[in-house]
Structure 1
């Protein structure tokens, strides 16, 4: 018996409300941990990009203000 045949005789609310709610209850922790991992990874990537951008900005500002004399380092 296929899943489609099982759901064929069910009311619409079983297919569209009850089954997704049961799936969220069963897999809710897994879904939450995956979403938290992805959001944390994106935050770390954005933080890395921002810090590298600030570093490049500071180095360019420092080297531009010192001119051609790099003996200050």
Structure 2
């Protein structure tokens, strides 16, 4: 791979090739990033709901024990 880029100017290696890659694979990259953010958001909601449920159940169990 180094031989291919050996005689080319710096701007081809560091500007043109990444821009072409972003144009070609930009949609794929955006889809992957969107999917990862979607999964993280769903995971955060799941953790918040489970944590809230545990908090409510413990609060209810503590108040029902004091009534005995």
| TM superposition outliers: structure 1 runs of 4+ over 6 Å | none
Gaps of 5+ in 2: none
- What is aligned with 2:36? 38
Q: How many residues align?
A: 68
Report the structure, 1 or 2, having the larger helix content: 2
Structure 1 CA distance, aligned partners of 2:38 and 2:55?
A: 26
Unmatched tracts of structure 1, length 5 or more: none
Aligned to 2:50: 52
Which structure would you say has the larger Rg?
1
Tell me the TM-score normalized by structure 1.
0.86
